[in-house]
Structure 1
Amino acid sequence: MAQPNAEPLEEYDYESLPPNFSLLQNMAAGAFAGIAEHTVMYPIDAIKTRMQVLTSGPANVHNGVTKGTFRIATGEGFLSLWRGVSSVVAGAGPAHAVYFATYEAVKHIMGGNQAGVHHPLAAVTSGACATIASDALMNPFDVIKQRMQMRDSAKMYRSMVDCAKYVYRTEGLGAFYVSYPTTLSMTVPFTALQFLAYESISTVMNPTKHYDPATHCVAGGVAGGFAAALTTPMDVIKTMLQTRGTATDPELRSVNGFMAGARLLLQREGFRGFFKGVGPRVVTTMPSTAICWSAYEASKYV
């Protein structure tokens, strides 16, 4: 029988949930976060893709987010800014579910959930493991998304399924994964930097690790923008590899890896070419990662 003056049970610290938090719950929170992150900022991502294409003609050149949005909306229709979003929705849910489930599992194993203690190695390692797993699932969907974001893609593909069939028929299964090593060369350091910055900022702003929406939003946005700026060169080459099948340039169509892409980019556009689209990338990533972390932490808390 309980003592009359017994102290009430302490509330669970949601940051310490993994031991009692099911894999399915982690994956559901991650899926919700992934879809929220990618769909909200999708039009700006479309502008970034257009800016990064190596052989774009005058009609594809967009020198900024505002100008690019206006040119696409007036020239191709407002809804064209969202073309390919179905591929992101289809892939982002499962990919982010795997991403956050892996992240939480590895972080817990490495002792990264202890309140008031900063674990940079756990954050970096869990982030890297999470992105390797999720990118393996997301890469084909990302290829389809990039192809559908290209100008005049509506004339070639009616839907994401039609695009997938076309790519498979004309370029083979390898086309969906030719950019995977390059994607990892971008996303592994991106994720490591993002998680390190996020955990560091969160620990400083919220050392008790209680649920705090403001902290998660600010830390997520700053961490994402910082990581995005530093990994833009790899993102440019990834776009080159994922859209090479739409090019008429034989040299570009023959690019088959990161080093080949880097050499061609340096030859054609110099060092500045490696940072094409850095503005839209940061503008996209800061709010999207803020949304992602906020949605994920809110889902965990609920």
Structure 2
Amino acid sequence: MSRGDMILHLFAGGCGGTVGAILTCPLEVVKTRLQSSGFSLHPFCLNPGVQLSVTGGGVLRPASFSPGLLEVLRNILEKEGVRSLFRGLGPNLVGVAPSRAIYFAAYSGAKENLCKVLKPDSTSVHICAATFAGFTSVTATNPIWLVKTRMQLDTR
């Protein structure tokens, strides 16, 4: 792969990741809040009228209310305002642009090298290149995602 192609892949991945992160940030915030608020269980062995909820620590407790997507969204808007739907966008942008850039560049580089060893453009080349690219980008940017999640859970 030429240096120009590598830079093009880095730039394209970074731009695509940035636009995607901005558009999906409100959904990410709601998803993170839903994941941290617990979920309802209806075990077969219990009375169907009894609803249990799993807390963050994995502890079962009776739950009278398990918030849904719209309830969480409305709650965020009422109590925290529209800006809070973009909480964690900074670290997300700091992470997603390099993550996508690293992924695109690693995928194209791995694919080019694997085509020399395996049957060119075969399924195994694509699978191996994608695996390598995913591992590389996730490993390099994992600390940024931790910061983003903690910011999204902050209700100040």
TM-score bracket, normalised by the shorter chain, equals 0.7 to 0.9
Asked if structure 2 preserves the Cα contact closer than 8 Å seen for 1:47 and 1:62, the reply is: no
Whole-Å Cα distance in 2 between the matches of residues 20 and 89 of structure 1?
A: 25
**Could you tell me which of 55, 63, 76 is aligned with 2:68?**
63
Q: Quick check: 1:91–1:137 contact (8 Å CA) kept in 2?
A: no
Gaps of 5+ in 2: 39-54, 57-62
1:82 equivalent in alignment to 2:72: no
Aligned residues: 129
State the TM-score, normalizing by the size of structure 2. 0.72
> Are the aligned partners of 1:104 and 1:126 in contact in 2 as well (CA < 8 Å)?
yes
Residues 18-51 of structure 1 deviation map (CA, whole Å, 9 limit, x = unaligned): 4584322211111111112222111111111111
Give the counterpart of 2:96 among 92, 101, 106. 92
Alignment match, 2:132: 129
How many angstroms apart in 1 are the aligned matches of 2:154 and 2:8? 39
Per the alignment, residue 275 of structure 1 pairs with: none
1:1-302 mapped onto 2 (5 Å cutoff) = 18=1, 21-53=4-36, 54=38, 55=55, 62-64=67-69, 66-111=70-115, 119-152=122-155, 154=156
- CA displacement at 1:62 relative to structure 2: 3.3
Distance in 1 (CA, whole Å) between partners of 2:152 and 2:122 is 39
In structure 1, list runs of 5 or more residues that go unmatched. Answer: 1-17, 155-302
Identity %, equivalent residues:
25
C-alpha RMSD of the superposition: 2.5
Helix, strand or coil at the partner of 2:115: coil
Please identify which structure carries the higher strand content. 2
Deviation of the 1:151 alpha carbon: 4.5
CA, structure 1 residues 139+72, in 2 after alignment: closer, same or farther (shift >3 Å)? same
AA of the residue aligned to 1:74: E
Structure number with higher helix proportion: 1
